[in-house]
C-alpha cells in the first residue's frame, strides 16, 4: 500500500491522485481535481541557535463540481481507501451545494498537462545539515563583532526559515503534474547595542537587505556575504542618523516612496482590488469587496492610475514566490497586464472566473482563458483565486531614487514602508515599522530643496487609493526596483493576506520601482479628535 512508505515515489503519489480523480468521476463529478501536498518547514531563531520548528504537513484534497456546487473533502491520509472516500465525500458535498436553478459551473477547456517541475534553487536547503546551518549562525554571531556590531537582544529578531512543498495535481481533464516548490527567507538584524536595555533612544539597528522570502534555497544566505557588505550597511545607517531627528509634521506633502514601499502599496491596493471574485462580491463575508466593483463596466476603460502606471501579474518571475509551472487547476499561468497606462485592463482569474469577463475578452479578440491564478496554501485548503506575483513597470528612462528626491522642494522620503487598507482597498495608511520592529533602513526622512535631511519620527500617510495612483507624478527606473515578499509562512508585515472561508493564504512577490506622489496627507496617528 502506498501509505506504508514514509517517503513516497512521486509516481506513486501521481497514481494515487489519478485514482482519486477516477473515483470522483465514477461518483458523478463533472469536474474533479485531486491535490496531494507534503510541506516541510524548518525555522532557526538565532536567539536559540537551534532548529526550533520542524513541521511536516501532508494533505490530500479533492475538489469537484456538480452542477452549480463545489464540494471539497480533505484529510492527511495517503491510504488509497481514504483518498477514494475523500472523492466520494467531495461529490456528496457538491451535490448538497448544487442548486438546480443556478447555472452550472463552467470550467472551460484547457489542454491537459503532464510533467514535473522544481523551483530552480541552487542548493536544496534540506540537503544542508542542521550542523552546517548552526555553524553559520555561530560564525555570524562572532563575525559581526569585528565591525562593532552585535545581534541585539541575543538575536531575538533574527531567524531563518526554509520550506519545501511537494505538490501533485491530477484533474479530470487529464492533467497530471508534480511540482516541488522551495521558499527560503529570514531576517538578520544587527545593531550597536541592545534594544531592550538601552536608555536614551534606540541604538543604531538595521535589517540586512535581501533576505526576504524568495523562491531560493540555501544560497539566499550564502550569497548575502555579510562580511563584505556590513561596512557599507553600517556606514549607510550612521549617515542616515547624522542629520538628526525631528517630529513629523502633519499636513500635505509630496512623498517619494522607494521601490519596497511602492510594492507594499501595490499589493494592498490593486493586488486585492483586481481579484475578480472579490470585485464581484464573493469575498463579501470574508476579506471584503473591491472598489473596482463593476468589472465588466470598468475593464478596458476605467482610469485607475496615472498614465505612467502599468501593472502586470505573472507566475513566472525568477525566484518569486508565486512562480510555478502550473496552477492548481492545471493551467499554465500567463503574464497578464492588469493596468495599462493607467487603465484597468484585466482581473486575476481562474478557470471558472474567466468566462465572467467573456464579453470583454470577445470585444478585444482575446481568448476566454484563465490567467492561471488558482492556488491553495496546501491540499487541505480549497482552491481559490489567489494573488500572483505583481510588477509595477519601471520608467524606461534611467531614473534613480536620488533623481526623484532632487525634484522635491518640501517632502518626505519613505523607505521600507508598511501599508494597511480597508476591506475594499479604497483607503489606506502608510507608515514605517517602529518600536521592536523598527529598522534604520525603513524610515521616513525629510526632503528639503531636493536633499534628504532629518529622520522623521511619528506620523503616517493616510491616502485614498484612487487619488494616490492617479496623482503619481514620476516613476523610478529599473535601478530603483525592489521586490518584497508576502509569504503564507511569514509573520507580521511579510505575511500574505488571508482569503476565503476558512481563511488561507498563499505566497507571492511584488516588484515595484520608486515613485513620487504629491499632496499626500500626513497625519498624527496618536491624535484623538
Residues 97-156 that bind other proteins (CB under 8 A): 97-99, 102, 130, 134
Query: Using an 8 Å Cβ cutoff, are 383 and 374 in contact?
Result: yes
For residue 254, state whether it binds other proteins (rule: CB under 8 A).
no
Evaluate whether 401 touches 363 at the Cβ level (below 8 Å): no
**Identified binder of other proteins from the candidate list 283, 320, 327, 403, rule CB under 8 A:** 283
Name the residue nearer to other proteins (CB basis): 244 or 435: 435
Instruction: Output the smallest distance, CB 43 to other proteins, in A.
Output: 9
286-345 binders of other proteins (CB under 8 A) = 286, 288-289, 291, 293
To the nearest whole angstrom, how small is the minimum distance from the Cβ of residue 82 to other proteins?
7
User: Which range binds other proteins by CB under 8 A, 156-164, 221-229, 274-282, 342-350?
Assistant: 274-282
| Count of beta carbons in the 10 Å neighbourhood of residue 229 | 14
Nearer to other proteins by C-beta: 353 or 482?
Answer: 353
Q: Which is nearer to other proteins, 69 or 215 (CB)?
A: 69
Residues 397-426 that bind other proteins (CB under 8 A): 420, 422-424, 426
Task: Please pick, from the candidates 10, 22, 47, 82, the single residue that binds other proteins as defined by CB under 8 A.
Answer: 82
Among 236, 334, 427, 473, binds other proteins (CB under 8 A): 427
Smallest CA-to-CA distance from 206 within 243, 232, 228 is with: 232
Q: Nearest distance from residue 311's CB to other proteins, in Å?
A: 21
Q: Helix 10-27 to helix 80-97 angle, to the nearest 10 degrees?
A: 40
Q: Show the 3-state SS of 223-292.
A: CCCHHHHHHHHHHHHHHHHHCCEEECCCEEEEEEECHHHHHHHHHHCHHHHCEHHHHCCCCCCCCCCCCC
With CA atoms as reference, report the closest residue to 166 among 75, 77, 36: 36
Instruction: Write phi, then psi, for 66 (nearest 5 degrees).
Output: -130, 115
Site string for other proteins, 338-377 (x = CB under 8 A): ----------------------------------------
H helices of 383-503, in order, are: 401-406, 465-471
How far apart are CB 234 and other proteins at their closest, in Å?
Answer: 25
Q: Which is nearer to other proteins, 250 or 367 (CB)?
A: 250
Q: How many residues in total does the chain contain?
A: 529
Nearer to other proteins, 242 or 527 (CB): 527
- 3-state SS track over 175-235: CEEEEEEEEEEEECEEECCCCCCCCCCCCCEEECCCCCCECCCCHHHHCCCHHHHHHHHHH
Strand bridging mode 474-475 / 336-340: unpaired
- Stretch of 224-232, 302-310, 362-370, 380-388 lying at the interface with other proteins (CB under 8 A): 380-388
Indicate whether 382 belongs to the interface with other proteins (CB under 8 A).
Answer: yes
Smallest distance, other proteins to C-beta of residue 429, A: 8
Supply the minimum distance, in Å, between the C-beta of residue 395 and other proteins.
31
Q: Is 69 in the site for other proteins (CB under 8 A)?
A: yes
The pattern of x and - marking residues 454 through 493 that bind other proteins according to CB under 8 A reads --------x-------------------------------
CA distance linking residue 420 with residue 428, whole number of Å: 6
Answer yes or no whether residue 84 interacts with other proteins by CB under 8 A: no
Give the C-alpha separation, 350 to 384, whole Å.
Answer: 8
* Options 18-26, 143-151, 242-250, 285-293: segment touching other proteins (CB under 8 A): 285-293
- Measured between alpha carbons, how far is 387 from 384 in angstroms, rounded to an integer? 10
Distance CA 23, CA 27 (A): 6
Under rule CB under 8 A, residue 94 binds other proteins? yes
Among residue numbers 2 through 61, which ones bind other proteins (CB under 8 A)? Answer: 3-6, 48-59, 61
Which of residues 96, 222, 238, 397 is near other proteins by CB under 8 A? 96
C-alpha distances in Å from residue 39, one per residue of 5, 56, 504, 505 = 16, 6, 15, 15
If you count DSSP H runs as helices and E runs as strands, how many of each does the chain have, helices first?
Answer: 12, 26
Q: Report the alpha-carbon angle 52-53-54, nearest 5.
A: 125
Give yes or no for residue 282 binding other proteins (CB under 8 A). Answer: yes
Q: Which is nearer to other proteins, 142 or 196 (CB)?
A: 196
* Secondary structure of residue 523 in the 3-state scheme: strand
Amino acid at each position: 500500500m502506498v501509505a506504508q512508505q514514509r517517503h513516497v515515489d512521486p509516481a506513486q503519489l501521481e497514481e494515487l491522485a489519478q485514482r482519486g480523480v477516477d473515483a470522483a468521476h465514477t461518483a458523478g463529478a463533472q469536474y474533479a481535481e485531486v491535490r496531494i501536498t507534503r510541506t516541510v518547514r524548518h525555522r532557526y531563531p538565532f536567539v536559540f541557535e537551534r532548529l526550533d520548528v520542524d513541521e511536516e504537513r501532508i494533505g490530500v484534497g479533492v475538489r469537484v463540481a456538480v452542477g452549480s456546487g463545489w464540494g471539497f473533502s480533505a484529510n492527511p491520509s495517503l491510504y488509497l481507501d481514504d483518498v477514494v472516500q475523500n472523492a466520494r465525500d467531495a461529490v456528496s458535498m457538491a451535490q448538497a451545494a448544487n442548486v438546480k436553478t443556478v447555472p452550472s459551473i463552467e470550467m472551460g477547456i484547457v489542454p491537459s498537462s503532464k510533467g514535473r517541475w522544481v523551483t530552480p534553487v541552487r542548493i536544496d536547503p534540506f540537503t544542508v545539515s542542521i550542523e552546517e546551518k548552526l555553524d553559520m549562525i555561530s560564525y555570524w554571531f562572532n563575525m559581526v563583532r569585528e565591525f562593532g556590531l552585535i545581534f541585539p537582544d541575543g538575536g531575538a529578531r533574527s531567524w531563518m526559515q526554509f520550506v519545501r512543498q511537494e505538490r501533485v495535481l491530477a484533474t479530470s481533464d487529464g492533467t497530471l503534474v508534480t511540482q516541488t516548490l522551495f521558499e527560503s527567507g529570514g531576517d538578520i538584524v544587527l545593531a550597536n547595542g541592545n534594544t531592550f536595555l538601552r536608555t536614551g533612544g534606540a541604538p543604531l539597528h538595521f535589517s540586512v537587505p535581501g533576505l526576504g522570502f524568495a523562491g531560493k534555497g540555501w544560497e539566499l544566505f550564502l550569497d548575502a556575504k555579510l562580511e563584505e557588505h556590513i561596512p557599507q550597511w553600517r556606514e549607510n545607517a550612521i549617515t542616515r542618523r547624522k542629520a538628526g531627528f525631528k517630529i513629523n509634521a502633519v499636513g500635505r506633502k509630496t512623498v517619494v516612496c522607494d521601490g519596497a514601499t511602492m510594492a507594499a502599496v501595490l499589493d494592498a491596493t490593486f493586488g486585492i482590488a483586481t481579484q475578480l471574485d472579490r470585485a464581484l462580491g464573493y469575498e463579501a463575508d470574508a476579506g471584503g469587496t473591491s472598489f473596482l466593483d463593476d468589472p465588466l463596466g470598468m475593464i478596458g476603460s476605467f482610469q485607475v492610475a496615472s498614465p505612467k502606471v502599468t501593472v502586470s501579474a505573472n507566475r513566472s518571475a525568477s525566484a518569486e514566490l508565486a512562480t510555478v509551472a502550473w496552477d492548481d487547476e492545471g493551467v499554465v499561468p500567463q503574464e497578464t497586464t492588469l493596468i495599462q497606462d493607467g487603465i484597468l485592463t484585466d482581473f486575476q482569474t481562474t478557470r471558472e472566473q474567466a468566462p465572467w469577463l467573456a464579453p470583454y475578452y470577445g470585444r478585444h479578440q482575446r481568448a476566454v482563458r484563465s490567467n492561471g491564478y488558482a492556488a491553495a496554501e496546501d491540499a487541505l485548503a480549497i482552491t481559490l483565486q489567489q494573488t500572483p506575483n505583481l510588477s509595477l513597470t519601471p520608467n524606461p528612462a534611467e531614473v534613480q531614487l536620488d533623481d526623484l528626491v532632487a525634484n522635491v522642494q518640501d517632502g518626505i522620503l519613505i523607505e521600507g514602508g508598511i501599508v494597511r487598507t480597508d476591506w475594499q482597498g479604497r483607503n489606506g495608511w502608510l507608515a514605517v515599522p517602529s518600536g521592536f520592529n523598527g529598522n534604520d533602513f525603513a524610515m521616513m526622512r525629510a526632503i528639503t530643496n531636493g536633499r534628504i535631511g532629518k529622520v522623521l519620527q511619528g506620523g503616517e500617510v493616510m491616502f485614498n487609493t484612487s487619488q494616490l495612483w492617479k496623482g503619481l507624478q514620476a516613476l523610478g527606473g529599473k535601478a530603483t526596483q525592489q521586490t518584497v515578499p508576502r509569504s503564507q509562512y511569514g509573520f507580521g508585515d511579510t505575511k500574505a493576506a488571508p482569503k476565503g472561508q476558512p481563511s488561507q493564504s498563499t505566497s507571492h512577490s511584488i516588484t515595484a520601482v520608486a515613485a513620487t506622489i504629491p499632496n499626500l496627507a500626513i497625519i498624527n496617528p496618536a491624535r484623538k479628535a
